[in-house]
Amino acid sequence: MNEPAPEGQEARREQREREGHTAPSPAPQRPPEHPYEGPARILVVGGGYVGLYAALHLQKKLRRSEAEVLVIDPEPYMTYQPFLPEAAAGSISPRHVVVPLRRTLGKCQVVTGEVTAIDHAERTATVKTLATEDEGTGPLSLHYDELILAPGSVSRTLPIPGLAEYGIGFKTVEEAIALRNHVLEQLDIASSTRDPEVRDAALTFVFVGGGYAGVEALAELEDMARYATRYYHNVEPEDLKFVLVEATGRILPEVGEDLGRYAVRELRGRNIDVRLDTRLTSCENRVALLSDGSRFPTRTLVWTAGVKAHPVLAATDLPRDERGRLKCTAALQVEGAPHAWSAGDAAAVPDLTSDQPGAECAPNAQHAVRQAKVLARNVLASIRGFGLKDYRHAYAGSVASLGLHKGVAHVYGHKLKGYPAWFMHRAYHLSRIPTFNRKLRVLAEWTLAGLFKREIVSLGSLENPRAEFELAAGTGRHPEAS
């Protein structure tokens, strides 16, 4: 901010102007007055890509006592989802694909809880925490001045018989590790049974959804499972049956048609059954029935067929589109709702770089991270009374892993396949995972993985850690005192 000239200097400047020595200079620019009586409260709903990165930018740029940032998320960490397939395959430790919010957002207040409703007209949010449940006092009502609503998305399921009972999701780190344990457990079952039907079902793995999540999860777990068979005396790699079911005529649409066809050829060359233009119609009684009439008895059905808007968006008074997402302007402000902002999966944001009328930004991590920076800048501008900036970003490209040392990439018009694409996939995501600490840990794990063999062990008991104690306490399995 420019300070006003002292009285003597101002008089001399005016004298020079009257004498024609200098041109009149503009009056010093002052930022508008702070619109709030005290520090503004910025409420960030969601600790994912948008929530974390927006809060990071805000805590760096906010002046002292200008505003306080409150971040609310049901989990105390942000999950870097592109690394979930590698976590499931054992290439990365689960702890290193998550970023702790409290440690990363040291200047923000982090609350582990769930926002259940928002009344933007009154600037209030209803929040449930673990403490409110134990106290029995009911949800909290929090006031805010600026709202960043970025709860992300949830898995989109369909009313398919048996899906809720037998399907396995792949959106959280808990699901990724549970799936790894489950796949290795199936190898144990197949190795120890004498029933051919049980064995075949245990060794059949069906993945529904040909996007990033489905293809990368299948490719990484197929690599791991076939490697693991060397430690089972009666299970061979060719005994495993992997099936990919995709309702459209292509997989990985983000990388383009040519690389999508290459990915199909690569997967089929590894004896993976890729079913295009096919839908799952039922999975009752652990039998996957497909729309082409195929029938696969299986104990593993992984559902990655898309996402939908988070349910909390429906519990607000903010405008939404037909898909349940918030209607946003190019400045990432919710339409018709001053001081409400959104980005990422929860927001329908116009794509100003597209030639197609009405085009919207794709709901992916690449846009979310970049939108978060513009969103944080606009929130600061709103607090300080300055103009807003539109989000504009030309799509750089896409990368996808097809397992260890295999991948596809379409970046800035260049198409890569095999090892170069896989290397670019790792390099790109290593550069994008937040914090220097996490980058070093992931790089160290990759380096060690190249020097030693894979760790093939199932820790399924982690999903129910009290089971052994409950069994001992209820049945007396503990050794008798001598």
DSSP labels, 67-100: EEEEEEESSSEEE-GGGHHHHHHTSS-GGGGEEE
What does the pLDDT read at residue 461? Answer: 64
Q: Which residues contact 391 (CB under 8 A, 6 or more apart)?
A: 330, 331, 332, 343, 349, 352, 361, 370, 371, 374, 375
Q: If you average pLDDT over every residue of the chain, what do you get?
A: 87
Max Cα distance, the chain (Å): 110
pLDDT band of 45, cuts 50, 70, 90: very high
Is pLDDT of 368 > 70? yes
Q: How far apart are CA 110 and CA 102, in angstroms?
A: 6
> Sign of the C-alpha dihedral, residues 315, 319, 322, 323?
negative
Q: 109-130 b/e with 16+ CB inside 10 Å = b?
A: ebbbbbbeebebeebbbbbbbe
Q: How far apart are CA 252 and CA 248, in angstroms?
A: 11
What does the pLDDT read at residue 134? Answer: 79
Tokens of 11: 């008089």
Q: How far apart are CA 33 and CA 439, in angstroms?
A: 41
Secondary structure element (H or E) that encloses residue 27, with its range: none
Tokens of 379: 């929130």
Burial class (CB in 10 A: 0-12, 13-18, 19+), 403: buried
Q: Comparing C-alpha atoms, which of 108, 51, 42, 107 is closest to residue 75? A: 51
What does the pLDDT read at residue 457? Answer: 73
What does the pLDDT read at residue 37? Answer: 62
pLDDT band of 458, cuts 50, 70, 90: confident
Is pLDDT of 451 > 50? yes
Using DSSP, state whether 141 is helix, strand or coil.
strand
Q: Comparing C-alpha atoms, which of 202, 206, 167, 169 is closest to residue 187? A: 202
Q: How far apart are CA 291 and CA 279, in angstroms?
A: 5
What are residue 282's DSSP bridge partners?
289
* pTM, full prediction: 0.84
pLDDT band of 268, cuts 50, 70, 90: very high
Average pLDDT over residues 53-57: 95
Provide the percentage of residues in the chain whose pLDDT is more than 90: 69
Q: How far apart are CA 363 and CA 369, in angstroms?
A: 11
pLDDT band of 99, cuts 50, 70, 90: very high
Using DSSP, state whether 231 is helix, strand or coil.
helix
| Top-confidence residue, 193 or 478 | 193
What does the pLDDT read at residue 123? Answer: 95
Is pLDDT of 481 > 60? no
| Top-confidence residue, 29 or 271 | 271
> Could you tell me the end-to-end alpha-carbon distance of the chain, in angstroms, rounded to an integer?
81
Using DSSP, state whether 279 is helix, strand or coil.
coil
What does the pLDDT read at residue 26? Answer: 39
Tokens of 390: 């539109």
| Top-confidence residue, 368 or 456 | 368
- Identity at 48, one-letter amino acid code: G
Tokens of 368: 């979310």
Tokens of 296: 């696969």
Under a CB-based contact definition with an 8 Å cutoff, are residues 463 and 132 in contact? no
Compute CA distances 257 → 51, 88, 263, 345, 365, whole Å.
33, 28, 10, 24, 21
Q: How many helices (H) and strands (E) does the chain have?
A: 14, 24
Under a CB-based contact definition with an 8 Å cutoff, are residues 249 and 277 in contact? yes
Average pLDDT over residues 223-230: 94
Is pLDDT of 336 > 60? yes
Q: How far apart are CA 462 and CA 239, in angstroms?
A: 28
Is pLDDT of 62 > 50? yes
